Amino acid sequence: MAEGQFLKATDLQEACELLAQYGGKARLLAGGTDLMVAVNQRKLFPEVLVYLGDSGLNYINAEGDNLVIGAATPFTDIMRSDRVQEETPLLAEVISHLASPAIRNVGTIGGNLANGSPAADSATALLALGASLRLRSKTGEREVAVEEFFTGPGETMLEPAELVQEIIIPRQIGGAKWAYRKLGKRKAQTLSIVSVAISCPLEGGQCQGVRIALGAVAPTPILATEAARILEGKAMDAKLIDKAAKAAAEATRPIDDVRGSAWYRRRATEALVKQLLAQISA
Amino acid sequence: MHSLELTVNGRSYQTTVTLKTTLLEVLRDKLFITSPKVGCNSGDCGTCSVLIDDKLVRSCITNALSTQGKEITTVEGLSKPGHLHPLQEAFHEKYGAQCGFCTPGMILAAKALLDENPKPSRKDVREALSGNLCRCAGYGKIVDSVMAAAEQMGQAKN
């Protein structure tokens, strides 16, 4: 049996060089909470593992109007960061409902995104917050909005020799209204059946730049853009909220699976959006 | 095969692993430290929980090679000969263990909590143990046990 190679990247540049050298053969390993499940289930037989645990990609910095989070930062560190709690509280709240303490201790935000799950909880938060991702390879870097990053279930726009370097989130200084709800089979350690994250900067009682993100109801995490358009620049009332919630449900493309039916997911999306908008406008 | 050196419960070990070997396999099959159990093998049930450098992790989905040079703690490392750890004592006194399969993971999750928060509320305890499943559904007595241990450890300090 082939022995395989375990390569520790000591910095970002080395990680990019190793990816360039081994191309599609190499898999990145950070916390391993997705990758090792696939290995245990014999769905993945990695030949080369590039380990990012000591690569210096674990940081939370303020840069101008943005919060910049290194891709290999574990969820626990993000959730407990004072800066994150003050400037993007929605992200801290979403992470507190993600998996379980032991998973959050090692699971990283970059790994959660790069895994490309339609139910990736961090993605709904980042979509609602208007975040973007800096992708890096040996030959260059590019910045993409989170809504462009996901291309299908388990698929992203990452090239074989490319990695997620960091997550760039606009700081919500001065505050914005937000709300989040995740429906799962239980409260902890559960995959979302439906999750909804809403960020709604209010100016003079009107919605300005509202973003409604939906998880686990389409091939990728999505933004309900039509629903947001209905609310934009308006003062919310019950009728408008109803209309936006219906539009959000229409934006879904859910499937039937072990966690819930497509019918349920569409109905639950409408109910959750309605509930969360009412909460925000109250 | 790759060489792996790690410390478990204060003792250094050297062994060999493949690219796919998990920390749980190293502990049980190579070092014969069997308190971490094989449950779901996918990170969901928590019975394989151990501490790496005092942080709670799932050993079943921890790549062994990522633990190179790290310090691992299992339940075997909590007690000294003849003296149980207050958490073990409390699980015994308060009937916190029923079949016992989840108990090592529960105790380590509780230890990780008490290291950071010596005076937890029942809600704190439930949250800290939320990734550990008890198939006997003995959760009430498990939370009782952790609360009793916290109290006992607080008294011991004063």
Quote ipTM for the complex.
0.95
User: Do residue B117 and residue B145 come from a single domain?
Assistant: yes
CA distance A3 to chain B (A): 6
| Antiparallel, parallel or unpaired: β A163-170 and A48-51 | unpaired
pLDDT in tens, B65-91: 999 999 999 999 999 889 999 999 999
Which one-letter amino acid corresponds to residue A18? L
Same domain, yes or no, for B66 and B105? no
In the structure encoding, which two tokens stand for residue A22, read together? Answer: 């081994």
Taking only residues 131 to 150 of chain B, the set having a beta carbon closer than 8 angstroms to any beta carbon of chain A reads 131-133
**Chain A residue with Cα closest to B51:** A102
Chain B residues near residue A6 by CB distance under 8 angstroms: 2, 19, 65
Tens-place pLDDT, residues A130-149: 999 999 999 999 999 999 99
Task: For residues B48 and B73, state if they share a domain.
Answer: yes
**Burial, A242: exposed, middle or buried (Cβ in 10 Å; 0-12, 13-18, 19+)?**
middle
Query: Hey, is the C-beta of A173 within 8 angstroms of any chain B C-beta?
Result: no
Lowest mean pLDDT of A49-53, A55-59, A232-236, B10-14, name the range: A232-236
Instruction: For B39-56, write each residue's pLDDT tens digit.
Output: 999 999 999 999 999 999
SS3 of B56, please? strand
Query: According to the model, what pLDDT value does residue A22 have?
Result: 94
CB contact under 8 A, A32 and B109: no
Q: Do B73 and B90 have their domain in common?
A: no
User: Which pLDDT tens digit goes with each residue over A14-54?
Assistant: 999 999 999 889 999 999 999 999 999 999 999 999 999 99
Percent of chain A at pLDDT > 70 equals 99
C-alpha A173/C-alpha A130 separation (Å) is 14
Facing residues of A137 across strands? A140
Q: B82: distance to nearest CA of chain A, Å?
A: 30
Q: Which domains does chain A have, with CATH numbers?
A: 5-51 (3.30.43.10), 60-170 (3.30.465.10), 177-281 (3.30.390.50)
Q: Which token pair is A147?
A: 């809504």
Question: Which chain B positions have a beta carbon within 8 Å of A36's beta carbon?
Answer: 22, 43, 60-63
Minimal CA–CA distance to A78: which of A66, A90, A91? A91
How many domains does chain B divide into? 2
Q: What are phi and psi of A89, to 5 degrees?
A: -60, -30
Domain holding B62, by residue range, is 2-77
Which residues of chain B have a pLDDT value below 50?
Answer: none
Residues B71 and B93 both lie in one domain: no
Provide the pLDDT for residue A1: 47
Last residue of a domain, one of B49, B77, B105: B77
Direct distance between the N- and C-terminal alpha carbons of chain A, in angstroms, rounded to an integer: 62
Shortest CB distance from B43 goes to which of A4, A6, A33? A33
Contact A37 B63 (CB under 8 A): no
Domain boundary among B29, B52, B77: B77
From edge to edge, which strands make up the β-sheet containing A60-63?
A60-63, A66-70, A163-170, A132-137, A140-145
Judging contacts by C-beta atoms under 8 Å, the chain B residues touching residue A103 are 43, 58, 131
User: pLDDT band for position A271 (50/70/90)?
Assistant: very high
Clarify whether residues B6 and B73 are in a common domain: yes
Would you call A49 an interface residue with chain B, using a CB distance cutoff of 8 Å?
yes
Q: Are residues B64 and B112 in the same domain?
A: no
Q: Map tokens 């090692």 to a residue.
A: A106
A235 vs B: CB within 8 A: no
The domain boundary residue, chosen from B17, B49, B77: B77
For residues A217 and A109, what is the distance between their CA atoms, to the nearest angstrom? Answer: 21
Contacting residues of A for B64, CB less than 8 Å apart: none
Q: Chain B contacts of A40, Cβ < 8 Å?
A: 22, 41-42, 60-61
A 97-156 residues inside an 8 A Cβ radius of B: 99-103, 105-106
Query: Residues A78-83: what's their mean pLDDT?
Result: 97
pLDDT value at residue A92: 97
| Distance of alpha carbon A140 from alpha carbon A136, whole angstroms | 6
The chain-wide mean pLDDT, for chain A, equals 94
The 3-state DSSP class for residue A196 equals: strand
Choose the mutation target among B17, B20, B132 for the interface with A, i.e. most A CBs under 10 Å: B20
Cβ of A7 under 8 Å from any chain B Cβ? no
CATH number at residue B123: 1.10.150.120
Cβ atoms of residues A75 and A108 within 8 Å:
yes
Which CATH number covers residue B39?
A: 3.10.20.30
* Whole-number pLDDT of residue A90: 96
B14 and B64 both lie in a single domain: yes
Chain A: residue nearest B130 by CA? Answer: A188
Same domain, yes or no, for B69 and B12? yes
Read off the pLDDT band of A99 (50, 70, 90): very high
Whether A93 and A199 have beta carbons less than 8 Å apart is answered as: no
- Give CB contacts under 8 A, 24+ apart, made by A138-143: A138/A16, A138/A17, A138/A19, A138/A20, A139/A20, A141/A165, A143/A168
> pTM here?
0.94
Which residue, B95, B105, B94, B111, is CA-closest to B35? B105
A10 touches chain B (CB under 8 A): no
Of chain A, the percentage scoring pLDDT greater than 90 comes to: 85
Note whether B102 and B73 are same-domain residues.
no
Which residue's entry shows tokens 């040079």? B69
